[in-house]
Structure 1
């Protein structure tokens, strides 16, 4: 936070036309039971602590507890775009993350909720209007059984939104080392053999390349890579 608020005016002092912003990991939070006030309060608190307060201070220099504005920083505009890293939605009934019942999930048990990418982009844009960059979006799918559908459905939400979403970066180009899961979670458009370091383009990678080449999803591409894919479903919610 301190580094961004200090760097923003410094960068613009050197490069006036530079685009400076932050990639925020954002998540949709909702109460497990919308009619339960305790669930609603827990959901709002989770959202506030996870993202609301941090996004506000990084965008405007205005801080709310538990954050404190660094000395010498004046409220103003500290963003030229909003970066959003989006993956999933959480349903909240207490202090721990939960999951709705009978919803599509990825290999890590995260809910697949494409609408959320637009809900969050709308929330950010309504409060601090600026271009939006999707700086991360992807899913853990070792078998490559539903990644193409995931990509298609999130891009479809973006295309229909009417929001100024200027860029989309898929996570990830190759399988990567995840913070908690290590090599177990497979996010790549390209499969990485960790023993030999051999890379092999997955079918989802070919689909993504086709989108780029055709500036969109053709009917043929949809039928080849998306139409037959289905998500696994979870059991009882937590």
Structure 2
């Protein structure tokens, strides 16, 4: 591209990078004195629930290849990188002293990132509850909330002299949906009241970690990463608008409002009261939540949510579920990812940023995940490299909308793709590949894809031309 001004130019200090997580990349799932997480436990119980019976021990081996992988981060233009610390690795019993092997590993990773000029963004929890804590009830138990706060304090003490960007949770609604509503995560419960309790306690844990961070006085900033999925109504009919509002309350504002405003929407509280689903609170909770307002919001965006009013009557004897309040809607003519089955709607990222600007005082934020999964990606292998023009188009079109939001005053500070290297993805294992770097599972060989080369050019030039591939 050279040094000429790009058609879509981003600030010189814009964050270009990617996101990952400990349970999806580290490997050594029961090595290095790490204790089992819910994923290790569930895989041992029901390996058939996992694609091709590939479990959490078979990830992209970052625990062994971290130095090589960080060199590839540098090669692909990263100036920042988000990963997570494994609670079960750092504090195997959930509470108590830090595991020296884990502390040494994370210190090495942080130091090497900094040595390569890559700013570490560290997340404290990415769906990986230690079984020692799940045995107590997980997020249903306030003792686990306290244990998580203590774990966070240990992290700040061990690594806070170098880590300046902390996050309490990634997509905290996913364990709620997966574990307590829709049966795609352990413990495979279908019970809205328990789900609401898990969600509420998660935000108490978040606020407790924020309190510890600010008491530490180490500087830097702390935030949370939310998957914000705009809820688009089928029409402007009042019933469809109400359905979209209910979906927004349950799936977006249930975490967004306490994170940015320090309290829950009164409308959400009234809704849960009406259906007898409000979780129990205790004195002091409101004060704790009010202190949990974040310094920085991470935004994960993949696809929109399209909804309509219910077209059939609810069975009153069925368990209460979010779908009592809306139906999903498949919009005719929508643009699709043919290899993943998800809608592609690039404007959604702009709508999120505009909503934050107009309704939440324009917080400091960044796109913390955005990416395109593709099944059987080896079909696009040409001359030893994956020619993933589709991924380049996906990223570029989303960034064009980010650029527009910036021009209109958004305080969006960066863009992180999901993900750097093809990694293990929960029950889907390696079914869908997302990486800028191809991982050969048999040999563990890493090969930069065409998208990785494009991303490096965009990052180094602080932008791109619309048709650049």
- How far does residue 53 in structure 1 lie from its aligned partner after superposition? 2.1
Structure with larger Rg: 2
- How far does residue 193 in structure 1 lie from its aligned partner after superposition? 2.0
Partner of 2:352: 120
Unaligned runs of 5+ in 2: 1-202, 273-277, 311-322, 381-387
- CA gap 1:126/1:36 in 2 versus in 1, 3 angstroms: closer
Q: Where do residues 76-155 of structure 1 align in structure 2 (5 Å cutoff)?
A: 76=291, 78-93=293-308, 94=310, 95=323, 96-106=327-337, 107-129=339-361, 130-141=363-374, 142=377, 143=380, 144-155=388-399
| More displaced stretch, 129-138 vs 35-44 | 35-44
SS at match of 1:102: coil
SS at match of 1:78: coil
- CA gap 1:30/1:99 in 2 versus in 1, 3 angstroms: same
Partner of 1:213: 460
Partner of 1:42: 243
User: Does structure 2 conserve the Cα–Cα contact (< 8 Å) formed by 1:2 and 1:70?
Assistant: no
Determine whether 1:201 maps to 2:448: yes
| More displaced stretch, 91-100 vs 22-31 | 91-100
Deviations 1:84-139 (A, max 9, x none): 00111121124354432222212222111111112112212333332111111111
Deviations 1:14-59 (A, max 9, x none): 1353211100011111122x14433322222111101112211122
- CA gap 1:56/1:103 in 2 versus in 1, 3 angstroms: same
TM superposition score normalised by structure 1:
0.84
- How far does residue 150 in structure 1 lie from its aligned partner after superposition? 0.9
User: Does structure 2 conserve the Cα–Cα contact (< 8 Å) formed by 1:134 and 1:167?
Assistant: yes
| More displaced stretch, 181-190 vs 64-73 | 64-73
Deviations 1:56-96 (A, max 9, x none): 11223312424666642423561111110011112112435
Instruction: Pick the aligned partner of 2:436 from 176, 189, 193.
Output: 189
Q: In 2, distance between residues paired with 1:176 and 1:38?
A: 41
Q: In 1, distance between residues paired with 2:404 and 2:219?
A: 29
TM superposition score normalised by structure 2:
0.44
Q: In 1, distance between residues paired with 2:423 and 2:329?
A: 25
Determine whether 1:72 maps to 2:277: no
- CA gap 1:42/1:212 in 2 versus in 1, 3 angstroms: same
Unaligned runs of 5+ in 1: 226-238
Q: In 1, distance between residues paired with 2:328 and 2:435?
A: 25
User: Does structure 2 conserve the Cα–Cα contact (< 8 Å) formed by 1:28 and 1:90?
Assistant: yes
- How far does residue 178 in structure 1 lie from its aligned partner after superposition? 2.1
Partner of 1:6: 208
Root-mean-square deviation over aligned CA pairs: 2.1
User: Does structure 1 conserve the Cα–Cα contact (< 8 Å) formed by 2:226 and 2:299?
Assistant: yes
Deviations 1:160-183 (A, max 9, x none): 213111121111111122234221
- How far does residue 185 in structure 1 lie from its aligned partner after superposition? 1.1
Determine whether 1:20 maps to 2:251: no
